[in-house]
A and B are shown apart, each in its own frame.
Chain A
Amino acid sequence: MSQHLITLMILLPFVGAILQAFVPNPPGAGRWIALAASVLASVCGVALVASLQGQTADLQAIESLPWIGSFAISYEMGIDGLNALLVLLVAIIFPVLVGYEWNQKLGRRGVHGLFLLLQCALFGTVCAQDLFLQFFFWAFTSIPVYFLVAIWGGEERENAAFRSLVAASIGNALLFAALILIYYSVEPHTFALKELAGGRFSARAFHLFGSEFPVSGVAFALIGAGLALRIPVWPVHGWFTQIAEEAPPSVLVAFAGATVPVAIYVFIRLTYALFPEILSSASGTIMAVGAMNLVIGGICAVAQRSLRPLLAFVCLGQVGFMLLGIGSLSSAGLVGAVYQQFVVGLGLAGFALLLGIVIDRVGHADFMSGGGNKGERSFGGVAVRAPTVAIVAGIFIASLLGFPGSGGFVGNALVMIGSYSALPGLVLLAGAAVLLAAYYLFTMYRHVFLGKPRAEGAEFKDLSLRERALILPLAASLLAFGIYPKPLLELVRPTVLTLLSTVK
């Protein structure tokens, strides 16, 4: 049983998605099945992480089955310090999403089914130890998101969903090209990550249109660009701000909270394992892109008067932070980046959930009048009417800012320490970005929660029992792992040290 936890964790949401779609009336039965599938899968995930042994960098809970032998493709799953936290993250977020869409009027089975499929695909991406399998799951994640935005989005959903899909297909195509290049550059051809690891591409080259290119450089660039198109990374983040405007809040939770960290994970996994020699020369570029992300995200966030674009730019900035950690090539920085994936995922998921609660109450998300917003569409003084919302929002914001005692502090501090040794100048920039973030997030907080209650704020109801149940796992894990991050950090550290040892 315990040997097949990963498979169980991946299959349960898939089976649940199909079952809940076909279960006959009464309609209530479908959502219980969906919730049960999601929760059971998550229980498997948590049990898996809990059963991991620390102090080792080896893959654990390995499952291996030949799939397409003639192309050396196998069903190979495993978990180590790098992906354990993401299993935990996905496990926490997705049951919350099913619960969040509990009373969806329009095609509830569709929403639940797509979220379950997304959960399945993300678990698969995170655990896959075979390049083909990983791409298989990862490319699939773009499809549920497309339909979720296209069907349940706002006014301009067609445009937003279409742009996101175009970006995602280009990204997937680039990644696919990298995959083919990698596969055919090694003899014997293989997709198994453990066999591809260790700089096997350093001296290889290929010919295209008459000129010669190095395999590792091109594949690295393709992977980087392919993943960058799937998540908000400067300069290709235009589609993401549009998604943030149009997508239903639950999709933002899934996207900002789970898909983005998973993309970062795929980047770490592939680049550190396959191209250690390129990484040391590309680290400057990675850090520069990260810094640009921080700066652009920060400056744009200051100008926002609505929660939706604010979320987009906060996400942009946080991705920048993680890239800084990845590019620093130091143990503290990389551990910080891995830990940051987890806490930023939770923080952004919480932020997006709050956004959903606000939209649910007042029908829009503009917290400040002026600018592009129409005169009286702001609100304030929510803290008086709904103190729980205000407290919970405070926790998420504190974590995103990296306040001591919240989960974000650990990640932020580690990234800062790690990148200081690599590029001290950039750390100053990062510090400035954190200060800027404090400014705009507190401005937002002040406008929404403090001040005089306006007309709309007056009817703001506090959290219902269901909403409390949804927010509890997110807020509790943020607080718990902020105060006591040791078990998770100890899980991550050995793997990270092993990865770094190949780079140097």
Chain B
Amino acid sequence: MSDFILILPEICLLLTLIFVIVAEITYHGEQVRWVKATALVGLGAALVQTVVAYQYGPIQVFHQAFAVDGLSLFFKLFFITLAALALIASAHTREIPRSRQAEYCALVIASTLGMCVASSASDLLLAFLSLQFVNILAFFIAGYGKRSLHSIEAAVKYMITSAVGGALLLYGLALLFSVTHTMNVYEIHRALVAAPLSAEHTLAILMLVLLSFSFQLGAFPMYFWMPDVIEGAPTPASGFLSLSVRAVGLAVALRFLIAIFAQPGSAEGQWQVLGSVDWTNIVALISAASMLIGSLLALRQEGAKRLIGNLLIAQTGFLLLGLLVLDQIGVAAVFYNLVIELFSLIGIFYVLAYLLEEFKTDRLTGLRGMMGKAVPESICLVLFLLTLIGIPPMPGFIGKFTLIGAAVRHDRLSLAVVAILSMTLSTVGVARLAYSLAGDLRMTVAFPAASSVKRQLFLAALIGPIVLFGVFAEHILNWAGKSVSFILW
């Protein structure tokens, strides 16, 4: 019975999903619909359950298939908040028609359920299945703009790459299973400690799995889908996908890499590579290439959404910096950055959705002079962008500093150099977008767009936490650090 108490967040999500679906199929044209409210209440309940679960300590349930620890709880909080924000953000857009909001709601909640399970899964089969579940739903969400060719193209691209990624992951896991005869990450770890793998075998497994993760994270070398999907999907859906798919990949990758292929190091809070293959170098390569490619591609984009899509590749590269150093401070930095990204990306796509709707284009040339028409929205967009790429005075800078600092502390100076270079390039790319907003103010200042209190409130609700994360950075980092030390290894 106590097992069920520990998976209450998932149960809550499942119940919410059922309510939403039942509400949708029993809908007979009533005036008032409570689908969104129901969903938000359900998400709120799940959030509370997750916070409550912290007190039960790191524990494994359901025959060790399911870990309730700092890592999974952090990611559950992250995913549930993401779903709530994504649902609120999608309410104000016409890209997802009113009649289909309930469907979208169900997809988002189902996807959240999948992600929560994936972040908890300490059984590799469970992790694989939930990842695939998330990916299939992401395929539907990406293709949600059924009438738009771009959206369909994005969905198909996503489906094909996710099929390849899933297959690679499965091959890798099969190889691992063939040696260790177990699917539980902690047992695999013990088996590997008892009987180390040969270097060739390890290399083959890691190559397959890292390739698959690079798809999931949108990192080099399988990053091609990222700009297409971000551009093609309906804008609120892009906001959701830009975070959900990457974050769930990161959650699984963290558990897989650190719980299986690392072991506690000499110092407290540090790990070292297990086995003869130093996979952190491979991750370093992925990270550096992603940072460079993402920020370089962003320089040449003509569409705002595509530009962000490319920046995301670079952001993933940054996040990997915190992973490859294999210590608690690095992982805490990853968590801090994820939280910052959550609010900034939702904000960016929210404003972009509004601009797209109001001005029918996301070409940089088409957005000319937007700052004169939609003043608060444009200013917020600039602030969100500064947060994303880490420019002072936004707290994104503190996040980037912690990540780059992690690399420097472990003598990966060349990686730090690449990271700083990538930050500079991203700034220039974002400056083009910012200029296109601000540039021709004098031509358009006469026709301000209608302002909406609801929209401004939501934007304030996104900016507020970002500012607080900067002021109380110490507390957030501490909390992230606690989450990390609370992980089962």
Residue of A nearest to B431 (CB): A165
Find chain A residues with CB under 8 A from B420 CB.
Answer: 173, 176-177, 180
**Interface members, chain B 366-410 (any A CB < 8 Å):** 371-372, 386, 391-393, 397-398, 401-402, 404-405, 408-409
Find chain B residues with CB under 8 A from A135 CB.
Answer: 392
Total residue contacts A-B, CB cutoff 8 A: 96
Find chain B residues with CB under 8 A from A137 CB.
Answer: 392-393
B411 at the binding interface (Cβ < 8 Å): yes
A183 engages B438 (CB within 8 Å): no
B30 at the binding interface (Cβ < 8 Å): no
We find that the number of chain B residues with CB closer than 8 angstroms to chain A is: 40
A146 at the binding interface (Cβ < 8 Å): yes
Distance in Å: Cβ of B305 to nearest Cβ of chain A: 21
A66 at the binding interface (Cβ < 8 Å): yes
Find chain A residues with CB under 8 A from B411 CB.
Answer: 207
Distance in Å: Cβ of A478 to nearest Cβ of chain B: 33
Find chain B residues with CB under 8 A from A181 CB.
Answer: 408
Residue of B nearest to A185 (CB): B408
Find chain A residues with CB under 8 A from B424 CB.
Answer: 169-170, 172-173
With A and B bound together, what is the CA distance between A50 and B300 in angstroms?
52
**Interface members, chain A 129-143 (any B CB < 8 Å):** 132, 135-137, 139-140, 143
Find chain A residues with CB under 8 A from B402 CB.
Answer: 71
B197 at the binding interface (Cβ < 8 Å): no
Q: Interface with A: B137-145, B164-172, B201-209, B473-481, which one?
A: B473-481
A439 at the binding interface (Cβ < 8 Å): no
Please classify the interface of chain B as helix (H, G, I), strand (E, B), loop, or mixed, using the class held by over half of its residues: helix
B13 at the binding interface (Cβ < 8 Å): no
Q: A107-B441, A183-B405 are in contact. Are A68 and B474 (CB under 8 A)?
A: yes
With A and B bound together, what is the CA distance between A215 and B231 in angstroms?
44
Give per-residue flags for A68-81: 1 if the beta carbon is below 8 A from chain B beta carbons, else 0. 11110000000000
B439 engages A169 (CB within 8 Å): no
B408 engages A209 (CB within 8 Å): no
B421 at the binding interface (Cβ < 8 Å): yes
With A and B bound together, what is the CA distance between A158 and B397 in angstroms?
26
Q: A135-B392, A150-B439, A170-B424 are in contact. Are A66 and B474 (CB under 8 A)?
A: yes
B423 at the binding interface (Cβ < 8 Å): yes
Please classify the interface of chain A as helix (H, G, I), strand (E, B), loop, or mixed, using the class held by over half of its residues: helix
A208 at the binding interface (Cβ < 8 Å): yes
Distance in Å: Cβ of B391 to nearest Cβ of chain A: 7
Distance in Å: Cβ of A73 to nearest Cβ of chain B: 8
A147 at the binding interface (Cβ < 8 Å): yes
B474 engages A69 (CB within 8 Å): yes
B435 engages A162 (CB within 8 Å): yes
Distance in Å: Cβ of B247 to nearest Cβ of chain A: 23
A161 engages B413 (CB within 8 Å): no
A184 engages B435 (CB within 8 Å): no
Find chain A residues with CB under 8 A from B405 CB.
Answer: 71, 180, 183-184
Q: A68-B474, A169-B424 are in contact. Are A140 and B393 (CB under 8 A)?
A: yes
B65 at the binding interface (Cβ < 8 Å): no
**Interface members, chain A 106-153 (any B CB < 8 Å):** 106-107, 110, 121, 132, 135-137, 139-140, 143, 146-147, 150-151
**Interface members, chain A 152-207 (any B CB < 8 Å):** 157-158, 161-162, 165-166, 169-170, 172-173, 176-177, 180-181, 183-184, 206-207
B156 at the binding interface (Cβ < 8 Å): no
Distance in Å: Cβ of A130 to nearest Cβ of chain B: 13
With A and B bound together, what is the CA distance between A456 and B150 in angstroms?
58
B474 engages A173 (CB within 8 Å): no
A158 engages B413 (CB within 8 Å): no
Which one of B392, B413, B434 lies within 8 Å of A206 (CB-CB)? B413
A166 engages B392 (CB within 8 Å): no
B414 at the binding interface (Cβ < 8 Å): yes
A484 at the binding interface (Cβ < 8 Å): no
B130 at the binding interface (Cβ < 8 Å): no
Q: Other than the known A139-B397, A157-B439, A177-B417, what 16 A-B pairs have Cβ atoms closer than 8 Å?
A: A68-B477, A70-B474, A71-B401, A146-B431, A147-B434, A150-B435, A151-B439, A162-B432, A162-B435, A170-B424, A173-B424, A177-B420, A180-B405, A180-B408, A180-B416, A206-B413
A-binding residues in B (CB < 8 A): 329, 371-372, 386, 391-393, 397-398, 401-402, 404-405, 408-409, 411, 413-414, 416-417, 420-421, 423-424, 427-428, 431-432, 434-435, 438-439, 441-442, 445, 473-474, 477-478, 481
Please provide the 6 A-B residue pairs with the shortest distance between their CB atoms, ordered closest to farther: A173-B424, A169-B427, A139-B392, A136-B392, A140-B392, A208-B413
Between A and B, 21 residue pairs with Cβ closer than 8 Å are A68-B474, A69-B474, A71-B405, A106-B441, A139-B391, A139-B392, A140-B391, A147-B438, A151-B371, A162-B431, A162-B432, A162-B435, A166-B431, A173-B423, A176-B420, A180-B405, A180-B416, A181-B408, A183-B405, A184-B405, A206-B413
